[in-house]
Structure formats: structure tokens, C-alpha cells
A and B are shown apart, each in its own frame.
Chain A
């Protein structure tokens, strides 16, 4: 697997013309058109200790100004026992820099997000898409050059309340310093005839996080253990753009570095998104 990454990325850089930045896991620094909106419905499967779980997402996106995009997404899963509602997250992204050229751009955006819902007594992951409450913020840097797009995100997520990880065990100051490097390539068509042309994009994303938290146990009062660990995933997947207004994403994700014990491992994501203009 370690040889696949450079081969894959080299393949992108060796390609000559144009690209796509509607990354499957990470957001680009670009926005939707002003006052456009969209719906997204998705399912992501992940495994833990030999069991498989599914989380469903239902989101609404609205572009407020052409530079400010907002998203609200509901999450439900069967991770915490029966299938039920987990949490809702709100995300806002503001494009702060743009340098456009013919079939190219470099953009920087800042984002902030927050999630509300019941803080589950099971430590799933330090993400806001699922059974957590917390806040997050960061920056996105996106480069588009013809058919090729490259984007990087750096950010931090903090879970606002303490996490009761297990009976008698509490995690405090739980933080996820997240980073990503995403590459996208417009494979088809080589030449457009109309908006009805099916677009086929291919993506590879490195999704990393560095988790820190304080571990406390009621059986050891006054003792605080500072824990940390690295998690790195590789997600590869195709995307179809239909009628230049709908998209279907599929991504296969595998864990390259698993430095935090007990985290579920995402494996398959399927998502449908529909844009609307008015």
C-alpha cells in the first residue's frame, strides 16, 4: 500500500490538462454560486472489533454570498446500539483569497463548524459528524490547474464536554488536529459537448488526525494521563457528475496508521448530492 500513494500522486502530476475539486471527504476552498442551494444524502460504513456499522447523513447547503457557504447536516447511525439520531452539525466556510486564471485558480478559505447532540458514553471518534458535541475551525488551500485539483485542509476539532469513555473513565480536553491532502482529476470527458455530458472524476485523499486528550479514572483520583495518537487514512474513489447539477460519490477508505486504539475504521462511503439554482 505504501507504494500506491506516490504512484497515484505521480500519475496526477504527470497528467497534462484540466480537473476537479469536488472532493469526497474534504471541502475545497471554492464556493457554490451565490444563493444556490443543494441537498446531500449519504451513507458511510465503518468497522470496529469485527462489527460493521452505518452512519447516514442528510444535509442542506446554502450559498449566502458567493464567498460564504453554509451547511447543516443531520447524522444518524446504528453505532450506539439501535439505529437512531446522533447529532446535527453546522458548517460555514468563507473564501478569503482568490487568484483566478484560465482554467486555474488558487484559493484560501477559512471554516468554522459546530455540532450539537447527545454526547454518547462511547468514544467513537473525534469528529463532529456523529455522536459528539464540539467545535471546529481551520483553513483550506485549493489549487486548480486544468483537469487537476489539489487541496489541503488544516484544522482543529475540540469536543466541548468531557467524554465518559467507559464506566469510571473520563476523557477531557479531547482535540483532533486534522489535516488532509486531496487530489482530484477530471477523467472524462476530454472535450465537452453540452451540460448533459457525464463527468467522471477520480479522487485520492490522505486524511490525517493527531488526537490528544487527558485520561482520568475515578479509581485513580488526581491522576491525569496525557494521551495522544496519530491516525492516517487513504480514501480513493470515483465521482459522477450528471447533467452538471447532480453528483454521485463513492469512496473506499483504508487506515494506513492506526495510532489510537478503539477508533472505528471507515471503509465505504456513498453519497448523492443535488444542486438547485434560483
Chain B
């Protein structure tokens, strides 16, 4: 019984300590070619107070973003800023600093006002910098979307919106994103 309580306490402590902090992100932008449009996108992204620095590669049209420490960076706001600039997000990979974060197939973890739904990952504990790729329908090719759809039975992925399958922590005010671990 004593061992059980110790294990329970450790598990509870682990949950309390579980933590994700975004460090940087690469955001591919669609719908533009010229440097004037790229500059407009960069200037719009700069308005977000949680962005520390941004550098847009004018040839690959990828925005390399670093975030301020200890600030929540809603992915939804980044997507919205790109759309406000008149364009759309092609893909997103982001590096998070994890602390004792258990993930597994269809695990949902809270990240500020976002919920990250892990797809196609084995059970593991994430520690230190880990790069996640956002695999929601707008951020992957049609072929990739079909492939990822096979790796989860949850309808929220296929329907690209919160659904009855989502756990209770995906409240109406939260934005759901689907991610997978790349490194």
C-alpha cells in the first residue's frame, strides 16, 4: 500500500511538473512570391507580443520565429497573423521545451489555450527541446493528410475540427491542433 501511495504521489508530481514551452517555429507561408508581400507578412507577425525575433527566408518563404521566454504563444494567433497579412500557412514545425511530458497515441495535452493532439507517436516522455510538426489538414498535402488519417481513429482529425471524440480538456474556447513528434 505504501508503494502504491508513493507511486501515486510521483505520478501526481509528474503531472504537476509536466510542462511545454515553445522556443521557436518555422512557418511556411503560401500565396506570395515577392519581397514586398513577405515584408508585409513579417510586419504583421511582429505585432504579436510573444515573438522575440523573426526572419523570413525570401526564397523559400519560411518565417523563422523565436519566442520570448515564459510567454504563451498561441499557434492560432500565428496562423491568424499570416491570414491578416493576406496569405495562408503552408506548414508549421515548432520546437518546444518539454519537462516530463508523457505523450502517446491520441494523447491530448494543454498548451495555454491550445490543445495539442499527438498523432502517430509511441508512448514516451518528452524532455528538453523536441520538434513537433503540425499536421492539421491546412498544413499538410492531401496525400500526407490521408496517411495521417490512417494513424488515428478520432474523427476530429479527419473533420479538421473539435468533435465528440475529443477529451474533456478540449473545451469550446480552446483551439485544437494535431501534431506529431519529428525529433
Contacts and interface: CB of A to CB of B under 8 A. Distances in A.
On whether the two chains bind one another, the answer is: yes
Interface of A: 18-20, 22, 30-36, 65-67, 95, 98, 100-105, 144, 146-147, 186, 191-195, 197, 199, 241, 244-245, 247, 275, 277
**Contact residues of B: prevailing secondary structure:** mixed
Given A66-B83, A100-B87, A244-B38, A147 B33 contact: yes
Interface of B: 28, 30-36, 38-41, 43-44, 58-59, 61, 83-88, 90
Given A102-B61, A244-B38, A277 B32 contact: no
Contacts of B38: 195, 244
A172 B118 CA distance: 67
A186 B34 CA distance: 8
A143 to B, nearest CB: 12
Contacts of B83: 66
B88 A98 contact: yes
Contacts of B35: 192, 195, 197, 199, 241, 244
A66 B31 contact: no
B84 A66 contact: yes
A199 B58 CA distance: 13
A2 B35 CA distance: 34
Given A33-B44, A33-B86, A105 B58 contact: no
A32 B33 contact: no
Given A241-B35, A241-B36, A244-B35, A101 B30 contact: yes
Contacts of A35: 84
